[in-house]
Chain A
Amino acid sequence: MSIPYFEFLRAELAPGLLDGLWVSLIVIIPSALLGAFIGLTAGVLRVYGPMPVRKLAEAYVSLFRGTPLVVQVFFWYFALPYIKFGGWSLVLDPIPAAILAFGLCSGAYQSEYIRGGLNSIKRGQIRAALALGMTTRQAVMNVVLPQAFRRALPGCGNEIIYLIKYSSLASIITVNELTGTATTIAKNSWRNIEVFCTLGVVYLLLVTVATWLLHLLEDTLSVPGFERPQE
């Protein structure tokens, strides 16, 4: 009745998913960078910023962590064009809208880990650095950040793995990444189980490779006493 799975995979599914994979990466990588940048900024501000800034950063984090990502994606793509700033409005293409949504949401989660990492550094560490004659800036750069970074790394890495999975939401706003491509192929071929299970395998591979890379990075940077917490 129809061609066998492997024939279908070779001729149709694999090339389609490969195209989708590139688009996925075009969404994921900038989102991760944006998220890391926002997360670091917000995290540092939440710990060391002046009170009003601290409150502002807290509000950002609870707003973006308290609402579903899909609502945020919807907002940046469908609702933003309706907001008029003195006569003109901002209309984002699907891919930039997805990157903005993912980056902002991911940044809110990332800032939690950064904050936790910064807070985990004992006061004595800074005092000891100051006692050696370091300036506050030097103490932060040489003592606090290297330690906080190691503490925050597992959480931040996990967040990137979440980002890989949640990048599938871009298909909802018509981005033809992995999930979007798979949906189209499934519609045209009527082979839902095969298409979506193959898609699942692709995500599993992506997530597994990313996890492995993350552990490699953690091991490279590991120092006794900063071991990876048990999953």
Chain B
Amino acid sequence: MDFNVAFTAAHEALPYMLGGVVWTAGLIVGAMLLGLALGVPLAVLQVYGPRSVRRMVATYVWLFRGIPILVQLYIFYFGLLAWLSGLPGLTGIGLDSPFVAAVMVLGLTSSAYQSQIFRGAIQSLPAGQLKAGRALGMTDGQVIRTVVLPQALRLSIPAWSNEYSILLKDSALAFTIGVVEIMGRMRAIASTTHEPVSMSFVAGIIFFVLTWVGVKGLSILENKVRIAGYTRQGAV
């Protein structure tokens, strides 16, 4: 391995690999939002729902936490979505796109993990908070919206930033079903240039920087919504 050659190759490949960041970012943003949109109601249902609903949520969480991302990608992309997109009325709406499959898999899995983060935060709130809201004549829905969730979501941010870095790393698996994110581009260019060492270093550095940027961003968010004296006690 010649360092000059390796460096030149890495330098030439950089713009192409950085182009993958757009796809990686798309995967993460899509998955985090999907995970948030499903995770919050799942957590609320798992804490306050009737027993049968709590069981259903627990089963959902068990399923998505127990099956490897790679296997889920295969199930969704080669299995479920391939089949669905062949059904009349469902063709041509992008169900067979690898990107859609990857966002779904990452987002659903994330919703399972996020629901447990929020559940932990909700359960860490003192019971008196709920009682005080009810004593003022709030409905349970009002108590959850105005008292429980604003506190629970704040407590969840540290764990949430961890969830971001997990999603970022898992998103690299989307290349296996053909999403041209960073890892996919790295693999392609490594095999054409025969420079896998420098290419994996470049990819590693890009991921490393993305992790750092995201974690930093979330800690800024945490400070923004911080409330005097409000501690992270109970956050997972």
Contacts and interface: CB of A to CB of B under 8 A. Distances in A.
A199 B71 contact: yes
Contact of A71 (B66, B75, B176, B186): B186
B169 A200 contact: no
A67 B166 CA distance: 10
A168 B66 CA distance: 12
Label chain B's interface by main secondary structure: helix
Interface string A175-211: 0000100110010000011001101100110011000
B128 to A, nearest CB: 19
Interface in A151-175: 165-166, 168-169, 171-172
Contact of B74 (A74, A196, A230): A196
Given A79-B197, A204-B63, A168 B1 contact: no
9 contacts: A68-B169, A70-B183, A71-B186, A78-B200, A182-B74, A196-B78, A203-B68, A204-B67, A207-B66
Interface residues of A, number: 37
A97 to B, nearest CB: 13
Contacts, number: 118
B152 to A, nearest CB: 14
B80 A168 contact: no
Interface string B186-197: 110010001111
B70 A171 contact: yes
Given A67-B204, A193-B75, 19 more contacts: A66-B207, A67-B207, A68-B170, A71-B200, A71-B204, A74-B190, A75-B196, A75-B197, A75-B200, A82-B194, A168-B70, A168-B71, A179-B68, A179-B71, A197-B75, A199-B71, A200-B71, A200-B75, A208-B62
Nearest to B76: A196
Nearest to B2: A84
- Interface residue range, chain B: 35 or more
Label chain A's interface by main secondary structure: helix
B47 interface: no
Nearest 9 CB-CB pairings of A with B: A68-B172, A79-B196, A193-B79, A165-B68, A68-B169, A204-B66, A192-B78, A168-B68, A200-B67
A87 B151 CA distance: 61
Given A67-B204, A168-B71, A208 B66 contact: yes
Nearest to A197: B75
B207 A71 contact: yes
A25 interface: no
Contact of B67 (A172, A183, A203): A203
A83 B1 contact: yes
A84 B66 contact: no
A7 interface: no
Contacts of A196: 71, 74-75, 78-79
Contacts of B204: 63, 67, 71, 75
Contact of A67 (B72, B169, B196): B169
A84 B74 contact: no
B78 A78 contact: no
A108 B168 CA distance: 17
Contact of B196 (A66, A82, A204): A82
